[in-house]
Structure 1
Amino acid sequence: MTSILIIDDEVEVGNFLSHLFMSKGYNVTVVNSGKEFNEIDFSHQPFHAAMIDLKLPDANGLVLLKHLKRRQPHCKVIIMTGYSTIKTAVEAMKLGASDYIEKPFDDIDLLEAQVDDLLISNVTSNEQRILDLAINVGLIVGQNETMRQLIQTAYKVAGKNVNVLIEGETGTGKEVLARFIHQASQRSYESFIGVNCGALSESLLESELFGHEKGAFTGATQMRKGLFEIASKGTLFLDEIAEASTSIQVKLLRVLETREFMRLGGERIFRTNTRLLAATNEDLQEAVQQKKFREDLFYRLNVVHLQIPPLRERKEDIPLLMEHFLKRYPGIEITFSDDAVKTMQSYEWPGNIRELSNCITRIVTLADSGHVKITADHLPFTGQRSVTSKKLTASSRSETLGEGMDEHIEKWMDEALCFYSQKEDIDLEEVLAQVKQLESQLGKALILQTLEATHGNRKEAAKRLQISTRKLRYLLNEKVNTE
């Protein structure tokens, strides 16, 4: 017979749950304290599932969870919690809890369904379902234990209507993880809409999020719905949330607190039920301490916190990621030597998975037709820094930048001398166009080499170049679009 353990200090709750599950044919044991829990002989009394209240007068629910999972690792656990302790409930899920439910129990049918699903679910099939879903959205989990725990937690919280903050370095796949959460949720058939808070000006971002009425500002020739309205039943992903202005932060806080907003230039109040996912490559907690980000908004967004590890901390997954990116190019046979794979694994990857993807694309583009075997000598970063190499000093960075500038200038001078030696008449417009082209090339080279020197840290690179982070992104996007 299926056995369930109920741990709750409220006698009425224990009696209610006991009656509910005994009527379904389950064997139920109820304890009302940590002391009674410690008196259970777990070696002779196996449990298939347990419901643990996080707050007991004489015990911590997390401690009881650890003890139960240590004695009976296959016992599936549901944490019972109030809204104020949801963050703790998420921590419990990281420790092995299968799910959590908020008290008081407003929906008894949901409670029954959670327990029934828990008892009939198979651990192996559930893990396979998670991996299949991840692959479908392009999220490669691999063998890294931190990444596997992250995806398990993300899957567990996906079905809850709570805000999630995703942190991770540039290129680690924050938006892909957000899409995974959306697809694993009950909103998967609704819209998933993302917006980069750092790519738009304050006025444009405000209009994008909340919409505007006709005539709200110059150029507003017609009414436009905002993303909170369009994605009201779906998921809204705010990337680079740390870049949002103070004014936008205030408006976001109001929406999260009241679920209400108004279009720009309008007077009508709209309600939204969108599920909010936010991401940043900065330490938002540090931004709060530096007064760059509102503390109250931070706590509203950070109900569930997910930290994606950088690629250098999951190098065992690099071969699998390489294979995944190569599958994008059917008909092209490319293999990597053992030395090449080791070199790929020893490289730091400051641009993380995005940089690895671009590296594979470059290799495929330059490869000849037929079967090609890539060795370490073919790799563009052979001889450059690796995980164990020392960082560049300020003087060596300067030398590196100087070499890049010399290369572009010398090439341009050679081409210009060759061109003008063959002409008697000089077209001034053509000269100015070539100078402008040189300026663009030098700018691109300087930006890329500064990023190289700062290990992909765009904020630090922008500081060294004495431009804004937004200007840096614009120039990088311009580069991508013109090549």
Structure 2
Amino acid sequence: MNSILVIDDEREVGTFFRHFLEEKGYDVKIGFNGKDFSELIRKHHFDLALIDVKLPDANGLDLLKQLKISIPSCKVVIMTGYSTVKTAVEAIKYGASDYVEKPFDDIEQLEQLIDGLLHSGATSMQNDMYKLAETLGFVVGKNKEMNDLLKLAYKIAKKNVNVLIEGETGTGKEVLAHFIHSASMRYDHPFIGVNCGAVSETLLESELFGYEKGAFTGAVKEKKGIFEIANRGTLFLDEIGEATLATQVKLLRVLETGEYMRVGGETVRKTNTRIIAATHVNLFKAVQEKTFREDLLYRLDVVKLTIPPLRERLEDLSLLIEYFLKKLNSSLSFSEDSIDCMKQYHWPGNVRELFNVVKRAVTLAEGEATIITPLYLPEKLKLSLSVKSVMAEKVKKNEMDFDIYLQKWVSNVLSMWRSSEKVDLEHVLSLVKEMEVEMSRSFIMKTLKETVGNRKEAADRLNITVRKLRYLLKEKGIDSKV
């Protein structure tokens, strides 16, 4: 017989669960506070715990952490009100299996959740999750951050909450949004995406809300908007940070009330559309700069997912290349030298840029080679390798000559500046970032040598705090023994 622990300060909640769960044949223990919780887990073993996030003498997240130490195998469901959904999402990051919102409107769904956690193997659920990701072309790989992201996305997919996806350009925000939609209860309804930065304010408004016949010149007949078409489905608002303030006001109204009007219309319409928004800019900073509404950000940022850039998951580079080769129906493979070269590159365009590089290499090599060597890679990758190999060699010998590096860097940038050929601005910006890293590294190394490793004195000379110096030593990859 499975044993279930319920911790909630509302006695009627405990009474409900006792009757509901004992009738299904479960052994149920009820507690009302943190003290009861500690006593019960000391005396009993539990297979599942349902814990309220707010208790008079304890925090539900603290009890979750304690339970994961005392009974690691026990699955946990956090109970929450809507206002504490963000806390419940944090609980999932700490190991909770799921969360439910109070009051419990859908008892059948609650029953399925409990039975599923107790009787369905975790392995089976994980297999379904990874299989869905693979089907949609969402390559997760071995990177821990990506795997944690997928698990969190899979768990919140079935919740009727808005999601904000952050990530640099080309990291795969739309693919993640599609994954969330496909794993949700809305999977058999429309998934529609719109890029807020790719269309004008007037066009975006008519695209989102539709328009009536005669609303403007050229409106010869009425047109449904995306909110109408995506009703009961998912709307993916890409680059939400590019939406004008006027459009943001109208979006806020839909998110708050579910109501909107067509352009030129007078009838209030209703929609039940889940919003997944994405951005490559910092919306909190945009709020401070008065270019994004704080109340809209509050509505969008119920759950925030951040996709790591490609340069932070290079252990998956070979797997991504293999996936792209398969997608291109190519029998070619990349040499180890090519892979090493690609691992040295900054990848400002992330996974999208990687696909373009693979596609270009396949096009050039097809018919004249079976293995793609560095010869078939863009110059920007080979340049990155040559600069970094010089840097690595000098660091290894502990004789970094910043003057030589600076001259080489300036020469490379000037050659691109003077060239009449097409320039890859993203690559230029990546070189600037490399220079920033190298300049920090060189000044810090020079100062640490002069102070014989005395970090306090070095920090004083650099006019930064010791804490900032420690951060830079870690962030810039400088040998702490220098």
Going from structure 1 to structure 2, the CA distance change for 1:400 and 1:344 (only over 3 Å counts) comes to closer
Residues 201-220 of structure 1: pairs in structure 2 closer than 5 A: 201-220=200-219
Q: Look up the match of 2:415.
A: 403
Q: Look up the match of 1:147.
A: 146
Going from structure 1 to structure 2, the CA distance change for 1:185 and 1:4 (only over 3 Å counts) comes to same
Aligned 8 A contact 2:68 2:74 in 1: yes
Q: Distance in 2 between matches of 1:130 and 1:46?
A: 29
Q: Distance in 1 between matches of 2:208 and 2:242?
A: 15
Superposed displacement of residue 110, structure 1 = 2.1
Q: Look up the match of 2:371.
A: 373
Q: Look up the match of 2:181.
A: 182
Going from structure 1 to structure 2, the CA distance change for 1:336 and 1:269 (only over 3 Å counts) comes to same
Superposed displacement of residue 70, structure 1 = 1.9
Q: Distance in 2 between matches of 1:232 and 1:400?
A: 53
Q: Distance in 2 between matches of 1:159 and 1:456?
A: 42
Q: Look up the match of 1:270.
A: 269
Instruction: Kindly provide the CA deviation profile for residues 22-49 of structure 1, in whole angstroms up to 9, marking residues without a partner as x.
Output: 111001111111111112345x632111
* Worse-superposed segment, 286-295 or 108-117: 108-117
Going from structure 1 to structure 2, the CA distance change for 1:227 and 1:398 (only over 3 Å counts) comes to farther
Q: Helix, strand or coil for the counterpart of 1:454?
A: helix
Going from structure 1 to structure 2, the CA distance change for 1:115 and 1:361 (only over 3 Å counts) comes to same
Q: Look up the match of 1:323.
A: 322
Please, which runs of 5 or more residues in structure 2 have no aligned partner? 393-401, 433-482
Q: Look up the match of 2:429.
A: 454
Q: Helix, strand or coil for the counterpart of 2:187?
A: coil
Q: State the AA in 2 paired with 1:336.
A: F
Superposed displacement of residue 379, structure 1 = 2.8
Superposed displacement of residue 71, structure 1 = 2.1
Q: Look up the match of 2:256.
A: 257
Q: State the AA in 1 paired with 2:427.
A: E
Residues 227-238 of structure 1: pairs in structure 2 closer than 5 A: 227-238=226-237
1:20 and 2:32 aligned = no
Superposed displacement of residue 396, structure 1 = 7.7
Q: Look up the match of 2:300.
A: 301
How many pairs does the alignment contain?
418
Residues 308-347 of structure 1: pairs in structure 2 closer than 5 A: 308-330=307-329, 332-347=330-345
Work out the percentage of aligned pairs sharing the same amino acid. Answer: 55
Q: Look up the match of 1:33.
A: 33
Please, which runs of 5 or more residues in structure 1 have no aligned partner? 409-441, 458-483
Q: Distance in 1 between matches of 2:411 and 2:218?
A: 48
Going from structure 1 to structure 2, the CA distance change for 1:406 and 1:256 (only over 3 Å counts) comes to same
Q: Distance in 2 between matches of 1:261 and 1:225?
A: 12
Q: 1:363 aligns with which of 358, 361, 376?
A: 361
Superposed displacement of residue 102, structure 1 = 0.7
Q: State the AA in 2 paired with 1:128.
A: N
Q: Distance in 2 between matches of 1:456 and 1:293?
A: 30
Q: State the AA in 1 paired with 2:92.
A: M
Provide the TM-score with structure 2 as the length reference. 0.82
Going from structure 1 to structure 2, the CA distance change for 1:285 and 1:394 (only over 3 Å counts) comes to farther
Aligned 8 A contact 1:348 1:387 in 2: no
Q: Distance in 2 between matches of 1:107 and 1:387?
A: 58
Aligned 8 A contact 2:344 2:384 in 1: no
Q: Look up the match of 1:431.
A: none
Going from structure 1 to structure 2, the CA distance change for 1:192 and 1:397 (only over 3 Å counts) comes to farther
Superposed displacement of residue 387, structure 1 = 7.9
RMSD: 2.3
1:107 and 2:130 aligned = no
Q: 1:353 aligns with which of 337, 351, 354?
A: 351
1:240 and 2:239 aligned = yes
